[in-house]
Amino acid sequence: MAASRRCAAVPAATLALVAALLMSAPAAAEVAAAGRYPPLAPGLSFDHYKKSCPKAESIVKDFLKAAIRQNVGLAAALIRLHFHDCFVQGCDASILLDSTPTEKSEQEAGPNLTLRPAAFKAINDIRDHLEKACGRVVSCADIVALAARDSVQLGGGPAYRVPLGRRDSLKPASQDTVNGALPAPTSKVTTLLGALSKINLDATDLVALSGGHTVGIAHCSSFENRLFPTQDATMNQRFAGHLKLTCPVVGTVNTTVNDIRTPNTFDNKYYVDLLNREGLFTSDQDLFTDGRTRPIVENFARSQKAFFEQFIFSYVKMGQIQVLTGSQGQIRANCSARNAGSNDDLPWSVVESVVDAAESLVL
Ligand code: HEM
């Protein structure tokens, strides 16, 4: 009775206003994906496939929901794959190219040997689904970026939007380029900051992106330098004892989880690990030891919200490194191989080269 009186007392104009606001309110998914984004790279947009493949994003997500339910480690593998693609020659799916008689795959370079075959297979499977739905429209580089985004969210992390429109490279990077671009886990903050500054990433990006180690696994070889011959003084004693059970001697082939607290959940516990001196790699723990990055670690350990906001910003920024767009590169028919007949000796865009040549003549 009282409720109906209250309702009746609300003027019609107010009800109309509320109804209008409700109708114009963004969908729940959009609200969840709200956040702070870096400027978009020229040629990328959030609605790149709106007309050509409107279901692209839901096809990727539906596939991964089922695949990650079967294999939780796939999420970590895909999050890492996007990083290893972008840091080397830009986010151009060059990491996916298999070796040919004349070109060695990036996959054969040391830091890439532990990327999981399941991640490469998932990208090709997703591409096949997209081809069936829309033709050869969605690039492998965009699939890698979308798969990484969905893996973050399906693991419990934040939802966010991915700028799209990347195109695929015609060539892999050389082994030297891969080794020079991906920092070693034995690196300290000075080395890490040096490597990241070359691709326009700063200390905050470094700390946020390292938060990717909130999921996944690592082999003993990636951290045994901290156990043998002498134990790293910055490592918690109990944690070291625990690791030595998994890696009792140098050269043990075994794995352990990156985040001892919540190994399969994308959350801020990785930073809590660092506060407790339970970071796995030198490159992790030094983020807490070094005064330049320590306050950022402390902030993310205190506030998951702060971590998620910054992770979105930095991962989207990373996802736009040196992208190929427009008429550059190609859309591969098979993510593991350059399209038949495409000649990597030709310039990416003949038209652009002609324009460039004309401009240099004028100058
Ligand atoms: C800052 C420099 C970084 C270094 C030195 C580094 C190093 C490593 C190493 C050595 C491994 C384990 C490899 C193995 O032993 O199997 C690993 C795993 C992993 N990394 Fe990083 N990483 C860095 C940055 C990142 C970034 C930026 C991300 C993503 C945002 C990321 C995500 C991951 C994930 C998810 C795994 C687990 C993969 C799996 O379980 O298959 N890492 N990283």
**Which residue among 71, 74, 83, 316 is best mutated to probe the pocket of ligand 1, counting the most ligand atoms within 8 A of its Cβ?**
83
Which CATH fold would you assign to the domain 55-216+258-319? Peroxidase; domain 1 (1.10.520)
- Residue 353 has a pLDDT of 35
DSSP 268-330: SHHHHHHHTT--SSHHHHHHHHSTTTHHHHHHHHH-HHHHHHHHHHHHHHHTTTT-B-TTSSB
Q: Is the peptide bond before 229 cis (omega within 30 degrees of 0)?
A: yes
**What value does the mean pLDDT of the chain take?**
89
- What is the Cα–Cα distance from 358 to 351, expressed in whole angstroms? 11
Question: What residues flank ligand 1, with Cβ below 6 Å?
Answer: 73, 76-77, 79-80, 83, 114, 116, 183-185, 187, 192, 209-210, 212-213, 215-219, 222, 258, 281, 283
Query: Which residue in 82, 84, 129, 242 is the catalytic one?
Result: 84
Active site residue 84: yes
b vs e for 112-138, b when ≥16 Cβ sit within 10 Å of the residue's Cβ?
beebbeebbebbeebbebbbeebeebb
What is the longest distance spanned by two Cα atoms in the chain? 84
Please answer whether residues 148 and 79 qualify as being in contact, where contact means their C-beta atoms are separated by less than 8 angstroms. Answer: yes
**Ligand 1 atom at shortest distance from the alpha carbon of 185:** 5
Least confident of 2-16, 123-137, 277-291, 299-313: 2-16
Does pTM top 0.75 for this prediction? yes
Q: What is the pLDDT of residues 14-41, one digit of tens each?
A: 434 334 333 333 343 444 466 899 999 9
Return d(Cα 110, Cα 175) in angstroms, integer: 9
The Cα–Cα gap between 29 and 308 comes to 16
Distance 99 CA to ligand 1 centre (A): 23
Beta-carbon count within 10 A of 181 CB: 19
Q: Which atom of ligand 1 is nearest to the CA of 115?
A: 41
Distance of CA 263 from the midpoint of ligand 1 (Å)? 13
68 CA distance to ligand 1 centroid (A)? Answer: 18
Q: Over the stretch 229-262, which tens digit does the pLDDT of each residue have?
A: 999 999 999 999 999 999 999 999 999 999 999 9
Which one-letter amino acid corresponds to residue 320? Q
* Alpha helix (H) residue ranges in the chain: 2-9, 12-24, 28-32, 56-70, 73-86, 117-134, 140-154, 175-181, 189-197, 203-210, 237-246, 269-275, 282-289, 294-302, 304-318, 350-362
Rounded CA-CA distance 272/338 in Å is: 43
Specify binding-site residues for substrate.
183
